[in-house]
């Protein structure tokens, strides 16, 4: 949060630092006043010749803690006037920050992000791309995110790039996302949404314009038919199993929409919403026993022989 990598996060970080300094100064002032009060008490006791100062006794007419002078001024000034002034100032700064951050970016790169228990569906309607858990954007350009949910309330939060914004079922929230430099920025669901809330992460990958255009061109292709024999067998395993009821591989009969689109699975860096790296071992473990990797997620285990599993892995690895 305090190492911002985009304009929205930078403004939020600036506001955060101001709030920290203001809050810190007020805290120091309160502690200093408390110290002065205690010190005066002690000195008053010593002047009276006692070894230990007597405990403070509230008398009528002295109900404000015994500070000499005009106690009512401290109560009204410190307890009423100052908080009103400080809170109005902080409120104005916060409103100014909110106004300075637009909630829409370009009309060219519009990205629909749909929350699911416990993963992110990612669609680029203008480019006809469907992917999951990974959002590619061109660095240095503001893009528009449209956030909604397929089930419960989730919250989209990429701390280095922006604040949090909820994904509500039946409602669409807009967010301008921009990364100043190419890089990988981790995001996290920030609204408790069920047992795997903490396991609902994502990656925002900011590419150079050329890399982004190449990625778009790649993702627009349907899955190429497998050519080597083991991958051909693997495709038969996939199309003949229950995988097809939940997953899509564009260009095949697998057209399920309950789980992530697998058309370009091998091009993604992680599995299970950034829970594990996308390696052959993790992929095998995920297919056979997904509950061991991410307990409570919605994917059932798949019973496959060793031969079937190896063929399926070979096929899935062709889905670049
Ligand atoms: Cu989705 Cu928390």
Chain segment 209-258, per-residue pLDDT in tens: 999 999 999 999 998 899 999 999 999 999 999 999 999 999 999 999 99
Rounded to whole angstroms, how far apart are CA atoms 157 and 178? 13
Rounded to whole angstroms, how far apart are CA atoms 209 and 86? 44
pLDDT tops 90 at residue 9: yes
Task: Report phi then psi at 85, rounded to 5.
Answer: -65, -45
Predicted local distance difference test score (pLDDT) of residue 49 = 63
Position 76 confidence tier, pLDDT thresholds 50, 70, 90: confident
Output the six-digit token pair for 173.
């929230």
Q: Is 116 in the pocket of ligand 1 (CB under 6 A)?
A: no
Cβ contacts of 80 within 8 Å, gap of 6 or more: none
**Atom of ligand 1 minimally distant from the CA of 152:** 1
Q: Is 195 in the pocket of ligand 1 (CB under 6 A)?
A: no
pLDDT tops 60 at residue 62: no
Position 24 confidence tier, pLDDT thresholds 50, 70, 90: very high
Q: Is 114 in the pocket of ligand 1 (CB under 6 A)?
A: no
Cβ contacts of 190 within 8 Å, gap of 6 or more: 155, 156, 157, 164
Q: Is 154 in the pocket of ligand 1 (CB under 6 A)?
A: yes
Residue 150 CA, distance from chain mean position: 17
Alpha-helical (H) ranges within the chain are 7-47, 71-76, 82-100, 209-220, 229-239, 280-288, 290-293, 306-316
User: Strand order of the sheet with strand 119-124?
Assistant: 129-132, 119-124, 110-116, 143-149, 173-177
Q: Is 191 in the pocket of ligand 1 (CB under 6 A)?
A: yes
Instruction: Match 């809330």 to its residue by tokens.
Output: 197
Predicted local distance difference test score (pLDDT) of residue 234 = 96
Ligand 1 centre distance from Cα of residue 119 (Å)? 8
Output the six-digit token pair for 66.
């015994």
Residue 87 sits at the vertex; the CA angle it makes with 81 and 93, to the nearest 5 degrees, is: 140
Q: Is 91 in the pocket of ligand 1 (CB under 6 A)?
A: no
Closest CA to ligand 1's atom 1: 154
Ligand 1 centre distance from Cα of residue 255 (Å)? 25
Q: Which residues make beta-bridge pairs with 131? A: 122
Ligand 1 centre distance from Cα of residue 152 (Å)? 8
Contact 161, 9 (CB under 8 A): yes
For residue 189, the tally of other CB atoms under 10 A from its CB is 27
Contact 135, 219 (CB under 8 A): no
Predicted local distance difference test score (pLDDT) of residue 78 = 81
Helix (H) or strand (E) holding 123: strand 119-124
Q: Is 147 in the pocket of ligand 1 (CB under 6 A)?
A: no
Contact 164, 147 (CB under 8 A): no
Ligand 1 centre distance from Cα of residue 132 (Å)? 15
Output the six-digit token pair for 57.
């006794």
Output the six-digit token pair for 106.
């370009």
**Atom of ligand 1 minimally distant from the CA of 189:** 2
Rounded to whole angstroms, how far apart are CA atoms 265 and 314? 12
For residue 158, the tally of other CB atoms under 10 A from its CB is 26
Q: Output the CA–CA distances (angstroms, integers) from residue 94 to 23, 24, 60, 88, 242, in the order listed.
A: 14, 18, 43, 10, 51
pTM for the whole structure: 0.87
pLDDT averaged over the chain? 92
pLDDT tops 90 at residue 65: no
Predicted local distance difference test score (pLDDT) of residue 143 = 97
pLDDT tops 90 at residue 203: yes
């Amino acid at each position: 949060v305090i190492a911002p990598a985009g304009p929205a996060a930078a403004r939020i970080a600036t506001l955060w630092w101001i709030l920290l300094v203001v809050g810190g100064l007020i805290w120091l002032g309160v502690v200093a006043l408390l110290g002065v009060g205690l010190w005066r008490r002690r000195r008053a006791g010593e002047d009276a010749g006692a070894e230990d100062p007597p405990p403070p006794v509230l008398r009528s007419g002295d109900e404000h803690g015994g500070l000499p002078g005009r106690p009512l001024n401290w109560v009204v000034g410190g307890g009423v006037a100052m908080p009103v002034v400080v809170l109005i100032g902080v409120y104005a700064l916060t409103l100014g920050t909110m106004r300075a951050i637009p909630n829409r970016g370009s009309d060219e790169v519009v990205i629909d992000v749909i929350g699911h228990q416990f993963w992110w569906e990612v669609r680029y309607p203008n480019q006809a791309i469907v992917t999951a858990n990974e959002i590619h954007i061109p660095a240095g350009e503001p893009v528009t995110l449209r956030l909604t949910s397929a089930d419960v309330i989730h919250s989209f939060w990429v701390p280095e790039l922006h604040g949090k914004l909820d994904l509500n079922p039946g409602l669409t929230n807009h967010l301008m996302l921009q990364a100043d430099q190419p890089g990988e920025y981790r995001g996290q669901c920030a609204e408790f949404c069920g047992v795997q809330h903490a396991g609902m992460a994502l990656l925002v990958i900011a590419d150079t314009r050329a890399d982004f255009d190449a990625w778009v061109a790649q993702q627009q292709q349907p899955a190429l038919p497998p050519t080597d024999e083991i991958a051909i067998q693997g495709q038969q395993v996939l199309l003949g199993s229950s995988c097809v009821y939940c997953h899509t591989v564009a260009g095949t009969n697998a057209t399920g929409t309950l789980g992530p689109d697998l058309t370009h699975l091998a091009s993604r860096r992680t599995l299970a919403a950034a829970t594990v790296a996308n390696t052959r071992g993790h992929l095998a473990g995920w297919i056979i026993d997904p509950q061991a990797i991410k307990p409570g997620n919605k994917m059932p285990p798949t019973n496959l022989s060793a031969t079937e599993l190896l063929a399926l892995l070979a096929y899935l690895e062709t889905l670049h």
